[in-house]
Amino acid sequence: MSAPRSRVALVSFVVATIAVLAVFPKFAEPYYVTLVLPAFAYAIALLGFNLLFGTAGLLSFGHALFVAIGAYAAAVLTSKLGVRSFEAIVAIAGIVSVIAAIPVAMLAVRYVRIFFGILTLAFGMLFHSFLFKFYNLTGGDTGIRVLRPTLLGQDWKELDKTAFLIGPFYYACLVLALVLGLAMWRIVHSPFGLHLAAIRENSRKAEYLGVRVRTFRLIAFLISAFYGAIGGAILAVNTGQADPELAYWTHSGELVFMTVLGGFANFFGPLVGAFAFIFLKSELMGATQYWRFFLGATLAVIVIAFPRGLMGLASDAWKKATRR
Amino acid sequence: MSALIETVGVTKAYGDFVALDGVTLSVADGETVAIVGPNGAGKTTLVNVLTGLLKPNEGVVRFKGEDIAGIGPVKLAQRGMARAFQLVHIFPALTVAETIAVAVVSQAGRSLSLFGSLRRDAALWTKVRDVAAIFGLDTKLDAEARLLSQGEKKLLDIASAFALVPEVILLDEPTSGVSSGDKHGIMKTLVDAARRAGVKAIILVEHDMDLVAEYSTRIVALQGGKVLADRVPGEFFSDPELIASVIGKRVDKFAAREGAR
């Protein structure tokens, strides 16, 4: 039940952002356009991650597991099974990830806080070593190549790799991000989303109000696995490779980083965090070999000074500006 | 009158310690039953058995004729019994309206509506406003629960339980943590709200004998896990020995209070 004025502002902000993203490839240098692709991928993955973290209050430290499943699904489908349709890849990656997530979720949702985090971390590490050791199946440390997919049946043979990625594939990802973003908006603002928030705030009280705490945590977990895999499929198509590093625990850490950077308490926080992280990392890597140091320092400053992240800063600024 | 809730020979032991020892009681439509007794008498265990949280070692516990031993809070809520805790339980970051909406959504069986819009559900918010109005919270609908006063938090906690439209509500020391001046006000609000919401029976765990005397229709006194007495207030309060054993010491203020009327 938000005030109408802030709603108008929100819709205008979203429409403006979509418009900028839609014309971005026409004006920006190709290098920056290629940076937007992983940002789309992470934005989608984090929409799911933050349903679990921001809405339901469960912090997963192993969420890269599902990103990796999506990437390997894209690799196996294109390289080994001859499935080239991007739409089919996205759907299958999501479904495979949900199936893989069922046993993980059934165990993990019995725990909360640090125990949930550690358990998800453990599953992520298990999957990483599986990818690493089962050479015949997974290609070991070199991984599996991801071949160029078709989009709505079109193979875009006339375009070279970069032109394909920053052209048709960019728009496919934009549309996908919009559809999945809208779906997540509905989920977060649905009766189900309200019950997830109740679970986050006080699971005991929620139970006595008839909220099925474990079942709902499980459903949220499966939805987040679905989103994670779709993000992973986009990442893999973008790099042309699925490798075990995608499942490594530092990658899970990056997902947490992006979410905190953008602000987990805000629906758009993780999306802003994904874009900010990708561009920040790229700029820092270009500027100094000590980029990890500066990235770490940034995170420390955010946590200490701006615990609500970039969106927290933005909403404070907005409130200040509209009060007058 | 048929029993809404009944226990027959309920025994609950933790190792060698027997918390409840053959407790038999029933609560019928229209009653407000107070459960009293000194600390350690088994009140909390009894409440946990009555609300299906604990399974008794022996005996049965029935709600509307069905066995509810150990069914857990979610099924309990679905079957029509709500519980409010001694300590205030709120959703700190949710607003008053959202808190009540959590219960309204469960009661309507709509919690699995993944893509339904909450905002556009006018019927939902009408119900939320109605419940909030009963508890005098309708001017604070958009306030976050954590920003309310202690008394308002207590009312919100109980309002959300009422929003389940329960047939029976179990109030575990509803006025604890509230200043003594507000106790009667809150109790009165609760009892009036129960009547308006169509609650059939109230089970009240309460230490304050003034409140017990004023609001209960029957008193069940526990001691050492057994039912010491099960009487109407008039009989209960005319037995000083009984009162003394229930509150752990002999106090004559009840006699004085009755005399003052």
Per-residue pLDDT tens for B186-234?
A: 888 888 888 887 889 999 998 888 888 888 889 888 888 888 888 888 8
pLDDT, chain B, mean: 84
Assess whether pLDDT exceeds 70 at residue B259.
Answer: no
Assess whether pLDDT exceeds 90 at residue B1.
Answer: no
Which of chain A's residues have a Cβ under 8 Å away from the Cβ of B168?
none
pLDDT at position B260: 43
> Average pLDDT of B144-162?
88
Residue type, A118: I
Domain ranges, ordered by start, for chain A: 34-247
* pLDDT tens figures, B82-96: 888 878 889 999 999
Residues A209, B102: C-beta atoms closer than 8 Å: yes
pLDDT winner (highest mean) among A184-198, A289-303, B15-29 = A184-198
A interface with B, Cβ–Cβ below 8 Å? 1, 183, 186-187, 189-195, 197-198, 201-202, 204-213, 216
Assess whether pLDDT exceeds 50 at residue B67.
Answer: yes
ipTM value, please give it. Answer: 0.84
* pLDDT tens figures, A122-140: 888 888 888 887 777 777 7
Domain count, chain B: 1
CA dihedral B34, B35, B39, B43 (to 10 degrees): -140
Assess whether pLDDT exceeds 60 at residue A218.
Answer: yes
How far is the alpha carbon of B123 from chain A, nearest alpha carbon, in Å?
13
* pLDDT tens figures, A130-171: 888 777 777 777 778 888 888 888 888 888 888 888 889 999
Q: What is the CATH number of the domain that holds B121?
A: 3.40.50.300
pLDDT at position B243: 81
Assess whether pLDDT exceeds 70 at residue B249.
Answer: no
Q: In chain A, which residue's Cα lies nearest the Cα of B78?
A: A210
What is the rounded distance in angstroms from the CA atom of residue B261 to the CA atom of residue B256?
Answer: 9
Residues B97, A216: C-beta atoms closer than 8 Å: no
pLDDT at position A77: 92
Q: Which domain holds residue B89?
A: 3-260
User: What's this model's pTM, rounded to 2 decimal places?
Assistant: 0.87
Strand B226-231 with B201-205, pairing: unpaired
Residue type, A113: R
* 3 state SS of A192: helix
**Contact predicate A312/A305, CB 8 Å:** no
**Contact predicate A78/A149, CB 8 Å:** yes
